[in-house]
């Protein structure tokens, strides 16, 4: 058929587009061809030689040619340039992209339908795949008033004529659009702000608003590569910006300013949400889209003026979709994708049946192991169920609430005795969820800790069972691993001695190892985030673990060529920064420091500790324990000859690292009054042996069935019995010790109130006074300065003992006690903010001390109770004093109206103590042991303790790093277009 002189084609594209030659060929091969073709090269360059040859061929076919080298940022600008170059005789303009090749009868069908009615102003073809014409892309556009398109075609959907009944639509794309020139002129031409996205819908809207029809012609087909629709920030940003632009162009006047502001404000929030979903490309695209809108604000107002002149009809509004239709379309597509994946990935029925049976066996084994371990925990702590709180060993009573924990976490001062510069142990901050849980149910923190310890054997079994699944698929081996880990001697010994940090270390080690192994195998960021959370808890329980974890992360980053591995230790470093700072200052003693109450414990011989029994191997069980341990080690070594020898080698390497840690604990005295607890080393060594043994046992049963009875069978049976005997012996020994009250089980019921109600009230009042407890024994006398209800678990801080604080405050208190009975004794105690003295115990000096206290001026006896005999001071006393006046104070900081004169703080002197009046820092006075200042004039004075980790920017940076791991660890998938 000869060219149609009334039709002018405008083709916008790039000079070097790989699709342009094929599009030009398709135009020339059409049954109906345009009378003229205007090629607009948007990059402003001349056409290539190949394109020139094709243009010459088109001229031979009777198509008049024109080439415009026009630098255009959008296809709207390119079409506008072609529109101006088109002759007035052109009744129709046929718009094409460089990647849209029409089929032979595309233009003929469009022209046939368009000429059938004067009301039709634009007609668009059905868009199909560039390489596969059976792939359906678009049959007209359905969209909401805010330009959100209804997703009605699933990517890859086949063209089966399912949408061929369509005719009148809200809009059609500019790729292949046949538009009446007269109608286009009437609505004001092209919008130069748009294209290649959204321009077709925007033109169609204006044509519809002017009373014209816009139709789709399903029999007219056009192959579209859609190369601009890419998974890049720029492409998505253009699409998002276009959608916002067209939504604002048609928004009502009263709504427009609020909608504009909302879109701009929501852009960074949407970007953050996509970042959390790990969709970095679209997170950048959201910001790109906001920039797109800001750059086109002037043109947006022009577009609104053009639309304001049009008359919106009810027929036009009926063609607009609703938000519900958009959501329903998305749901349908997601459902179709899920079903397609299920059909594609569904294994044969026999395989499904085998998997279900194996999963049932795994559930049964896991349930049995967890239930047995839970019974072990209940029986172990049965003597203490009535009080539901523990003391003794590394534990102490604690009623700290969530708010107090957070306040302590922000502080650089430890309110213990006369106070110490320090920090809240990261493990106590990690106990914040337990504190919140306790407060919600009206319980105390130590009761929540008791529940945690009660469940810890079950948690240990569950952690080991899940982690063992990466080393073996055998439910029996995973059961043995879970029971062995829950009954491991280092774990139960730590439980018997109240070593909370060692217990947490034992629980966290298996999931951390499993997460690191998954990360090595898959490289997924979600596994990295999970591993980082476990590493955070591990370092909180044992700060020195930061060193080997950092070393492991560096090696993994180098050998795995994944720098992301370095993130493994970043959240842990931020969370435990104060503890790590102290660790760095006091190496090597800090290498064995762990949170908890320093206490003496009965240490076994070196060989017993190396074997995993910190308090020594019990004589009656020694043969069983030694034989079982030896057999497990032999099995672990034999794992090097099995198919999973790499896991066995890793396990043996961990065992060696554990022995190094045990050696460090035996070599260095540690920060407490007794030998440091070697729990971390024993846990690592036990975990290494267990991992190597699992690698040795994996698929062993199948191998043994194919071999005649021999030495392998005997070794396997002996190792199996050893795996049962060792945790059984450990459980029997420690459970029997707990039930009979053996002296190497240090746990005891936590007492209720340890101080008189008067002392508790004074400690909570703004005066913040303290209690002096004197405990007399036959061979010694202990003096303690308490705040609140005695020493709490969260008061314990290894930085205090690591730093070996100079003791002028302690010496001053000691000298004051030697003056008991003298006239100035009460004033000397008041300098330490003492308001109550509690005397308890027995011994020859007890009655004499009580008599002297009775005779001391300024001290009055109150009563004698189960707690002991206590006196109160009648002289002015408080934490913050101005002469004899008590100034109200907080737990750490204080702010009050103070007259001119000397201000004394009953806290150990430290450079971090500062006093400010307005912005002026007050000069500090020299004093024997506590902080004092000279106040020059009456006014409000703020007293604070300033440390590097109490600065707001440091707290914010640490919190931000920890929260960033939420983004890393979320297991959400990237968006798939």
Q: Model confidence over 711-724: pLDDT tens digits? A: 777 777 888 888 89
Residue 210: per-residue pLDDT: 87
Taking every pair of C-alpha atoms in the chain, what is the biggest distance, in angstroms? 127
Is a pLDDT exceeding 50 seen at residue 898?
yes
User: Which H or E run includes 447?
Assistant: helix 445-468
Question: Residue 901 CB: number of other CB atoms within 10 A?
Answer: 14
For 529-582, give the secondary structure using H, E and C: HHHHHHHHHHHHHCHHHHHHHHHHHHHHHHHCCCHHHHHHHHHHHHHCHHHHHH
Query: How confident is residue 673, by pLDDT bands cut at 50, 70 and 90?
Result: low
Residue 784: per-residue pLDDT: 86
Q: What is the mean pLDDT of residues 401-422?
A: 89
Distance of alpha carbon 633 from alpha carbon 297, whole angstroms = 74
Strands 748-749 and 34-41, by their bridges, are: unpaired
Nearest to 856 by CA among 897, 888, 828: 828
Q: Name 792's Cβ contacts closer than 8 Å, sequence gap at least 6.
A: 396, 397, 398, 399, 400
Tokens, residue 155 = 């990517």
Is a pLDDT exceeding 60 seen at residue 1?
no
Q: What are 908-937's pLDDT values in tens digits?
A: 888 999 999 988 999 999 877 889 999 999
Residue whose pair of structure tokens reads 């260095």 in the numeric block: 668
Q: Of 156-160, 309-313, 497-501, which gets the smallest average pLDDT?
A: 309-313
Distance of alpha carbon 121 from alpha carbon 469, whole angstroms = 66
Cis, bond preceding 748 (omega within 30 deg of 0) = no
Q: What is the mean pLDDT of residues 441-453?
A: 93
Tokens, residue 666 = 């035996």
Residue 926: per-residue pLDDT: 85
As a whole-number percent, the residues of the chain with pLDDT over 90 amount to: 46
Is a pLDDT exceeding 50 seen at residue 553?
yes
Tokens, residue 949 = 């980790």
Q: Of 284-298, 339-353, 839-853, which gets the smallest average pLDDT?
A: 339-353
Inter-residue contact 2 to 31 (CB < 8 Å):
no
| 130 DSSP assignment | S
Residues 602-625 as b/e (b if ≥16 CB within 10 A, e otherwise) read: ebbeeebbbbbbbbbbbeebeebb
Residue 710: per-residue pLDDT: 66
Helices (H), 611-644: 622-638
| 215-to-177, 329, 382, 775 alpha-carbon distances in Å | 10, 22, 80, 96
| 445-to-116, 434, 449, 730 alpha-carbon distances in Å | 82, 7, 6, 29
Is a pLDDT exceeding 90 seen at residue 670?
no
Query: How confident is residue 416, by pLDDT bands cut at 50, 70 and 90?
Result: confident
Distance of alpha carbon 179 from alpha carbon 513, whole angstroms = 65
Query: How confident is residue 974, by pLDDT bands cut at 50, 70 and 90?
Result: very low
Residue 901: per-residue pLDDT: 92
Query: How confident is residue 86, by pLDDT bands cut at 50, 70 and 90?
Result: confident
| 516-to-471, 534, 962 alpha-carbon distances in Å | 13, 10, 18
Residues 772-807 as b/e (b if ≥16 CB within 10 A, e otherwise) read: bbbbbeeeeeeeebbbbbbbbbbbbbbbbbbbebee
Give the mean pLDDT of the chain: 88
Is a pLDDT exceeding 60 seen at residue 638?
yes
772: helix, coil or strand? strand
As a whole-number percent, the residues of the chain with pLDDT over 70 amount to: 95
Give the range with max mean pLDDT: 629-643, 783-797, 882-896.
882-896
User: Which H or E run includes 12?
Assistant: strand 4-13
Strands of 930-935's sheet, edge to edge? 885-887, 880-882, 901-908, 930-935
Higher pLDDT, 651 or 312: 651
Could you please report the per-residue DSSP string of 164-206? Answer: TT--B-SB--STT-EEEHHHHHHTTS--TT--SSSHHHHHHHH
Is a pLDDT exceeding 50 seen at residue 329?
yes
- In angstroms, how far is CA 340 from the centroid of its own chain? 32
| 379-to-107, 384, 789 alpha-carbon distances in Å | 85, 10, 30
Q: What is the mean pLDDT of residues 314-327?
A: 78
Nearest to 839 by CA among 860, 870, 877: 870
Query: How confident is residue 704, by pLDDT bands cut at 50, 70 and 90?
Result: low
Tokens, residue 603 = 């240490």
Query: How confident is residue 834, by pLDDT bands cut at 50, 70 and 90?
Result: very high
Q: What is the mean pLDDT of residues 139-146?
A: 89
Query: How confident is residue 975, by pLDDT bands cut at 50, 70 and 90?
Result: very low
Nearest to 692 by CA among 640, 631, 626: 640
Distance of alpha carbon 334 from alpha carbon 332, whole angstroms = 5
Query: How confident is residue 977, by pLDDT bands cut at 50, 70 and 90?
Result: very low
Residue 855: per-residue pLDDT: 86
Higher pLDDT, 589 or 595: 595
Residue 929: per-residue pLDDT: 87
User: Which H or E run includes 933?
Assistant: strand 930-935
Helices (H), 698-807: 700-705, 711-740, 757-764, 798-803
Tokens, residue 681 = 């080393």
Q: What are 297-306's pLDDT values in tens digits?
A: 888 888 888 8
469: helix, coil or strand? coil
Q: What are 557-579's pLDDT values in tens digits?
A: 998 888 999 999 999 999 999 99
Is a pLDDT exceeding 70 seen at residue 312?
no
**Looking at the DSSP assignment, which residues form a beta bridge with residue 102?**
222
Distance of alpha carbon 943 from alpha carbon 933, whole angstroms = 10
Q: Name 869's Cβ contacts closer than 8 Å, sequence gap at least 6.
A: 838, 839, 840, 850, 861, 863
Residue 849: per-residue pLDDT: 83
Query: How confident is residue 430, by pLDDT bands cut at 50, 70 and 90?
Result: very high
Residue 811: per-residue pLDDT: 79
Q: Of 524-533, 865-874, 964-973, which gets the smallest average pLDDT?
A: 964-973
504: helix, coil or strand? helix
Long-range contacts of 256-265 (CB under 8 A, 24+ apart): 256/304, 263/290, 263/293, 264/290, 264/293, 264/294
**Looking at the DSSP assignment, which residues form a beta bridge with residue 221?**
126
């Amino acid at each position: 058929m000869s060219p149609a002189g009334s039709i002018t084609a405008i083709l916008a594209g790039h000079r070097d587009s790989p699709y342009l030659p094929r599009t030009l060929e398709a135009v020339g091969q059409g049954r109906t061809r345009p009378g003229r073709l205007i090629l607009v090269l948007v990059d402003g360059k001349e056409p290539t030689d190949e394109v020139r040859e094709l243009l010459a061929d088109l001229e031979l076919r009777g198509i008049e040619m024109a080439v415009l080298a026009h630098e255009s940022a959008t296809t709207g600008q390119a079409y506008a340039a072609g529109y101006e170059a088109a002759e007035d005789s052109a009744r129709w303009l046929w718009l094409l992209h460089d990647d849209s090749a029409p089929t032979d009868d595309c233009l003929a069908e469009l022209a046939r339908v368009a000429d059938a009615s004067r009301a039709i102003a634009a007609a668009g073809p059905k868009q199909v795949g560039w390489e596969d014409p059976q792939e359906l892309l678009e049959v007209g556009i359905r969209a909401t008033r805010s330009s959100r398109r209804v997703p009605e075609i699933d990517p890859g959907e086949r063209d089966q004529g399912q949408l061929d009944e369509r005719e009148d639509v809200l809009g059609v794309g500019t790729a292949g659009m046949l538009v009446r020139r007269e109608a286009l002129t009437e609505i004001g031409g092209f919008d130069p702000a748009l294209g290649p996205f959204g321009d077709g819908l925007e033109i169609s809207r204006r044509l519809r608003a002017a009373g014209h029809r816009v139709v789709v012609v399903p029999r007219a087909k056009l192959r579209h590569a859609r190369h601009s629709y890419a998974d890049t920030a720029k492409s998505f940003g253009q699409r998002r910006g276009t959608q916002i632009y067209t939504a604002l162009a048609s928004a009502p006047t009263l709504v427009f300013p609020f909608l504009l502001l909302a879109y701009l404000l929501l852009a960074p929030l949407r970007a953050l949400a996509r970042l959390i979903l790990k969709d970095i490309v679209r997170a950048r695209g959201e910001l790109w889209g906001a920039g797109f809108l800001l750059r086109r604000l002037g043109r947006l107002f022009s577009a609104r003026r053009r639309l304001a002149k049009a008359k919106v009809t009810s027929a036009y509004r009926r063609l607009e979709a609703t938000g519900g239709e958009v959501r329903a379309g998305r749901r349908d597509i997601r459902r179709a994708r899920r079903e397609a994946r299920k059909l594609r990935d569904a294994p044969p029925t026999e395989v499904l049946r085998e998997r279900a049976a194996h999963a049932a066996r795994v559930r049964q084994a896991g349930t049995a192991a967890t239930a047995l371990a839970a019974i072990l925990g209940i029986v172990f702590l049965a003597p203490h169920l009535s009080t539901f709180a523990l003391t003794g060993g590394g534990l102490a009573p604690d009623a700290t609430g969530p708010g107090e924990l957070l306040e302590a976490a922000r502080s650089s001062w430890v309110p213990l005795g006369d106070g110490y510069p320090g920090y809240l142990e990261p493990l106590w901050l990690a106990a914040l969820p337990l504190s919140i849980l306790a407060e919600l149910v009206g319980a105390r923190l130590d009761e929540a800790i008791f529940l945690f310890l009660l469940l810890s054997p079950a948690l240990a079994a569950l952690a080991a069972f899940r982690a063992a699944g990466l080393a073996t698929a055998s439910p029996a081996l995973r059961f043995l691993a879970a029971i062995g880990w829950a009954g491991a001697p280092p774990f139960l010994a730590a439980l018997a001695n109240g070593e909370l940090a060692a217990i947490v270390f034992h629980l966290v080690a298996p999931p951390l190892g499993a997460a690191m192994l998954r990360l090595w195998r898959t490289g997924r960021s979600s596994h990295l985030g999970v591993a980082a959370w476990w590493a955070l808890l591990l370092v909180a329980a044992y700060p020195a673990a930061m060193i080997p974890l950092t070393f492991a992360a560096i090696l993994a980053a180098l050998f795995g060529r994944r720098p992301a591995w370095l993130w493994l230790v970043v959240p842990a470093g931020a969370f435990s920064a104060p503890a790590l700072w102290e660790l760095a200052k006091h190496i090597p003693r800090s290498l064995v420091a762990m949170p908890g109450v320093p206490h003496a414990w009965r240490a076994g011989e070196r060989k017993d500790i190396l074997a995993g029994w910190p308090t020594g191997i019990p004589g009656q069980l020694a043969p069983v324990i030694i034989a079982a341990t030896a057999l497990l080690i032999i099995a672990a070594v034999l794992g090097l000859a099995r198919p999973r020898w790499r896991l066995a080698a890793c396990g043996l390497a961990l065992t060696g690292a554990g022995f190094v840690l045990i050696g460090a604990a035996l070599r260095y005295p540690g920060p407490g009054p007794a030998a440091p607890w070697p729990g971390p080393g024993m846990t690592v060594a036990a975990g290494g042996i267990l991992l190597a043994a699992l690698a040795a046992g994996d698929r062993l049963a199948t191998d043994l069935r194919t071999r005649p009875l021999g030495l392998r069978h005997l070794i396997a049976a002996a190792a199996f019995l050893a795996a049962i005997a060792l945790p059984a012996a450990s459980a029997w020994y420690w459970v029997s010790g707990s039930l009979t009250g053996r002296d190497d089980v240090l746990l005891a019921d936590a007492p209720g109130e340890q101080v008189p109600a008067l002392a508790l009230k004074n400690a909570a009042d703004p005066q913040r006074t303290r209690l002096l407890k004197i405990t007399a024994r036959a061979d010694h006398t202990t003096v303690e300065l308490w705040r609140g209800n005695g020493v709490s678990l969260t008061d314990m801080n290894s930085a205090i003992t690591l730093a070996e604080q100079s003791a002028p405050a302690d010496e001053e208190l000691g000298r004051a006690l030697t003056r008991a009975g003298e006239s100035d004794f009460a004033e000397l105690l008041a300098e330490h903010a003492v308001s109550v003295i509690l005397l308890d115990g027995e011994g020859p000096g007890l009655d004499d001390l009580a008599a002297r206290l009775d005779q001391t001026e300024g001290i009055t006896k109150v009563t004698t109770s189960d707690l002991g005999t206590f006196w109160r001071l009648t002289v002015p006393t408080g934490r913050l004093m101005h002469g004899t006046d008590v100034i109200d104070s907080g737990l750490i900081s204080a702010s009050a109206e103070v007259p001119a004169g000397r201000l004394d703080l009953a806290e150990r002197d430290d450079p971090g103590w500062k006093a400010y009046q307005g912005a002026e820092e007050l000069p500090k006075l020299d004093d024997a042991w506590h902080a004092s200042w000279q106040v020059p004039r009456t006014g409000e004075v703020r007293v604070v303790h300033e440390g590097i980790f109490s600065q707001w920017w440091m707290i914010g940076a640490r919190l931000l790093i920890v929260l960033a791991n939420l983004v890393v660890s979320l297991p959400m998938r990237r968006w798939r277009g």
